[in-house]
């Protein structure tokens, strides 16, 4: 018996078959180590590393009969699932890596040729990813039955010997150039239109901004005017209230002064009344009583004198009346004036 130990950095599968007592048991070991009987156990290896294939199909006719050459790159590896691993071992155990790659390469190239015959050059050339996906989907079941997995498949190059692709490229280039010129013209036209629209929008925005600015300025001025008016109104109201209050205070002071003057005047009148009353008492005591006596005396004398004058006047009047009646006829023209004169004389004598 011997111990088999695998320490390589390359992934590898060990296949053990055979044992003592004629056993035909098979064991699969992915890396690691295992026991093996010397001269009895058969040990075989198969690589598990990724293998790169470069399938190439030359002068394959497409659906339109154009012969083209297609090259690709595929990445494959042996699947490690137990059942699929057993299938891979049955197919490739004991074969070298180039032999495994050769079998899978032929399978891929066969499917690649069959798919190329169903597509046009334009489909293959313009959509390589879709073409590669189609090849991968068609070939995957066949290589899967070998225990091989297609990790990736891409188209590397597509070319022909009759300059079909070149002509197609020139046509496409011309079309692209034409479309580009049209696109440039349309772009310039659209750019001019857009520029005019932008200028119009800019002018509109500027007009709106200026309008809003003017409105804001006018609103500010109106607010300032309203504020100033309110301030001036408040100042005027405050000044008027101050003056009114001052006038009220002055009036109150004047009323109080007048009341004081009235009180003083009343006091003065009271004092004066008392003084008058005192003076009257003095006059009554010192003047009125003697004066009354003298006045009575004088009154009596005046009445006697008056009576005398009246009697004298009456006699004189009677005399004049008699003279007047005698002369009435001669002085009729001045009859009205003379009585006045006589009366006047009479009154003055009285």
- What gap in Å lies between CA 163 and CA 341, rounded to an integer? 175
Per-residue pLDDT tens digits for 288-339: 667 677 777 788 888 878 888 888 888 888 888 878 777 776 666 565 554 5
- What gap in Å lies between CA 179 and CA 175, rounded to an integer? 6
CA distances, 115 to each of 56, 61, 135, 150, 237 (Å): 13, 10, 7, 17, 103
Per-residue pLDDT tens digits for 60-81: 888 888 888 889 999 988 887 8
Quote the DSSP letter at residue 32.
S
Lowest model confidence (mean pLDDT) among 49-58, 101-110, 258-267, 291-300: 291-300
Range with top average pLDDT, 7-11, 54-58, 322-326? 54-58
Spell 275-305 as b/e; 16+ CB within 10 A means b.
Answer: eeeeeeeeeeeeeeeeeeeeeeeeeeeeeee
Quote the DSSP letter at residue 162.
S
pLDDT of residue 40: 64
* pLDDT for 214 beyond 80: yes
């Amino acid at each position: 018996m011997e111990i088999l130990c695998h320490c390589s950095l390359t992934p590898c599968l060990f296949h053990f078959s055979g044992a003592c007592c004629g056993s035909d048991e098979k064991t699969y070991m992915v890396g690691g180590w295992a026991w093996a009987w010397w001269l009895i156990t058969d040990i075989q290896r198969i690589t598990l590393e990724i293998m790169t294939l470069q399938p190439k199909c030359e002068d394959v006719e497409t659906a339109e009969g154009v012969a083209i050459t297609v090259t690709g790159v595929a990445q494959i590896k042996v699947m490690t699932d137990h059942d699929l691993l057993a299938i891979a071992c049955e197919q490739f155990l004991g074969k070298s890596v180039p032999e495994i790659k050769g079998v899978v390469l032929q399978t891929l190239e066969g499917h690649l040729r069959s798919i190329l015959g169903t597509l046009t050059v334009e489909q293959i050339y313009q959509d390589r990813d879709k073409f590669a996906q189609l090849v991968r989907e068609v070939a995957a079941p066949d290589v899967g039955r070998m225990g091989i997995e297609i990790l990736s498949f891409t188209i590397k190059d597509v070319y022909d010997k009759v300059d079909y692709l070149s002509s197609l490229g020139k046509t496409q280039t011309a079309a692209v150039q034409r479309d580009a010129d049209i696109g440039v013209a349309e772009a310039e036209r659209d750019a001019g239109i857009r520029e005019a629209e932008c200028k119009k929008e800019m002018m509109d925005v500027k007009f709106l901004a200026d309008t809003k600015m003017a409105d804001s300025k006018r609103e500010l001025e109106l607010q300032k005017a309203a504020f100033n008016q309110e301030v001036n109104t408040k100042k005027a109201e405050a000044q008027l209230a101050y003056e009114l209050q001052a006038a009220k205070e002055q009036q109150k002071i004047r009323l109080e002064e007048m009341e004081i003057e009235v009180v003083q005047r009343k006091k003065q009148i009271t004092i004066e009344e008392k003084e008058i009353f005192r003076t009257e008492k003095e006059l009554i005591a010192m003047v009125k009583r003697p004066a009354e006596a003298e006045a009575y005396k004088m009154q009596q004398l005046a009445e006697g004198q008056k009576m005398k004058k009246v009697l004298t006047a009456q006699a004189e009047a009677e005399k004049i009346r008699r003279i007047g009646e005698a002369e009435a006829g001669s002085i009729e023209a001045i009859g009205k004036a003379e009585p006045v004169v006589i009366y006047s004389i009479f009154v003055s004598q009285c």
